[in-house]
Amino acid sequence: MLLRKAIKRFLDDNRGYVIALTLISMPLLLGFSLLIIDVGRTGNLHTDLQNAVDAMALAGARELDGRDDAIPRAKTAIEKLTNSAAFGGGGTGMSLGSYKPVVYDAAKIDDPDDPNTVEVHFLKSIPAQDDDEIDLGTMETFNSNEASYAYVVAKPQEMTPVFPIPVIPHSPGDKTPITADEVDRVKINVSADAVAVYRASACDVTPIYICNPFEPAGNTSPAANETAAEALHTNFAAGNLYGRQIELHSTSSSAPGPGNFGFLATYGNGANVLAEALATGSPGVCYKQDALETKTGAMAGPVEAGLNTRFGMYSGSFGNARDDGRYRPAANVRSAQNQTGGANKICGEYNPIMSGSTVGDVTQAVPLGYGASMTSLAGGKISSGNDWQYGSYWNVAQGTAAPSVSTILSNHSSYPSPTGSPSQPSAYDVYRYELNNSALVNHASTSGETGVPRTGGQCYKGPDLSNYTSGDYGDRREIFAAIVNCGYENAVGHLNGHKQTQAVAFARMFLTKPAIKAGSERFLSLEMIDITGKGGRGTLDEFLREEAELVR
């Protein structure tokens, strides 16, 4: 009886049960705490790896502008980044581990002691769906002209968890005693990857787009679209556009094509707003290469007046703009402008000396680019080669024999091909040669025209031109435009305004003479100096806002 009571008292006594429960639960609580720590460590390592590859992909993609050295530049940019990943080294016992560098060295990829902790690939395309895997076999490229994406993959980083999940190295049934040294812990592999793409926008440029002169007629397919873009870049890189005169027509045709030009949207509406932007080169917006917005509607009248302020000609709504430095003339305005009728006539609309239907007369004055043998495009004309009459121009403008090609190009050369040399200089390079010699700019042709703009109350009345740098002068006869495959973009409905028209490149172009008005048509005569992308010389960098964007 007494024993029964003693047992009952013992069972009913609940003193000290907390200690018992604590002793029982402590291993579980400790293990759970260690597990939480490991989850946090894994998250830290993955976050650091992801941040590292994101930064590397963005740095690499920023250089993928399509030029011939894009991939080497991208590799150099990635190499300059060294990041650290937390807890990459695991740790011994209860230590939390160390930091592991995330590095890339292209020169040591095949080294037996390769230090790289990331892999870098350059892609020409990526899957349409994010869930689809990247196929390096079909998407990777080693051609700088094709690379659009930088793909950076962190090699798996091994992390030893603090939570002791043992891995017994013996096979089942093996009765051999296990020592403490043979007990290992599970390793956790953590990795990350990122894909970034190159994006380009052009700011403070002339709001003009021109149709790619190498686009085939009737182009409506993406494949032909790519071929036309490639033809533009290949021909420019080879020097096939050097010195060639292009005559562009503004037209209301429902099927614009090579030889046509159009306008891009500006900060406001109306022809006067557009003319202002053409005159100053400040449209108030930046143009994305893959999302241009075109401007529709009749723009005849103010358009050529705005462009021609660059030659010191003030007509239409710009008649009262002569005292504004934003509309200053170029330092060399030689253009075969008729010198009769007084200053107001000379400084009004473009009224060139003509020989029949040809702008320029070798007995009086001729413009730069004079005498090229022109062939018809769908909407305009292009010369068959660098065949403008350089000798005739120089004889009329300067009264002497033309300098040699090497003499002109030693001053300035826009010839893009690294090998070979042109048969004669381009009109633009001759223009730059004249700018470097004031005697040449001041020399009068038979008509009395010189390259010196009329100032001091005759035409331009604004701030003295000596206040502006030579770069400012040269810029006034240059325009910066987008090049578009007009046939394809029109076929998919992208040339009717407020649509994402894609430019195959941006171009730097030289106005060989002022814009010409003939009825409802407007003509621009120019040379292509440089383009973005493959074969480009890099002179448009100051106008580009180049960015990289993470897409994966």
Q: pLDDT, tens digit, for every residue of 104-159?
A: 888 888 777 778 888 899 998 888 887 888 988 899 999 888 888 999 998 877 66
Nearest to 483 by CA among 499, 510, 506: 506
Please tell me the predicted confidence (pLDDT) of residue 166: 53
Nearest-angstrom CA–CA distance, 488 and 258: 11
Please give the model's pTM, rounded to 2 decimal places. Answer: 0.78
Contacts of 117 (CB under 8 A, 6+ apart): 100, 101, 102, 103, 104, 154, 155, 157
Please tell me the predicted confidence (pLDDT) of residue 273: 82
Residue 364 and residue 370 in contact, taking contact as beta carbons nearer than 8 Å: no
Please tell me the predicted confidence (pLDDT) of residue 67: 83
Q: ∠ CA 43-47-50 to the nearest 5 degrees?
A: 140
Nearest to 423 by CA among 468, 383, 470: 383
**Segments making up each domain of the chain, as ranges:** 23-198, 204-545
Residue 194 and residue 57 in contact, taking contact as beta carbons nearer than 8 Å: yes
Please tell me the predicted confidence (pLDDT) of residue 445: 95
Contacts of 529 (CB under 8 A, 6+ apart): 414, 428, 478, 507, 508, 509, 510, 539
Contacts of 231 (CB under 8 A, 6+ apart): 212, 214
Helix 390-398 with 427-435: angle, nearest 10 deg: 30
Please tell me the predicted confidence (pLDDT) of residue 383: 94
- For 216-248, write each residue's pLDDT tens digit: 888 888 888 889 999 999 999 999 999 999 998
Q: What is the dihedral of CA 370, 373, 376, 381, to 10 degrees?
A: -20
> Which 8-state DSSP code applies to residue 502?
P
Q: Which residue has the tokens 């910066």?
A: 480
Please tell me the predicted confidence (pLDDT) of residue 3: 67
Please tell me the predicted confidence (pLDDT) of residue 151: 94
Positive or negative CA dihedral for 425, 431, 432, 433?
A: positive
Q: Which residues of the chain have pLDDT under 70?
A: 1-3, 5-44, 83-99, 158-188, 251-254, 296-301, 470-474, 497-498, 519-521
Please tell me the predicted confidence (pLDDT) of residue 85: 59
Please tell me the predicted confidence (pLDDT) of residue 287: 84
Please tell me the predicted confidence (pLDDT) of residue 182: 47
Nearest-angstrom CA–CA distance, 479 and 204: 10
Pairing of strands 208-211, 478-484: parallel
Please tell me the predicted confidence (pLDDT) of residue 183: 47
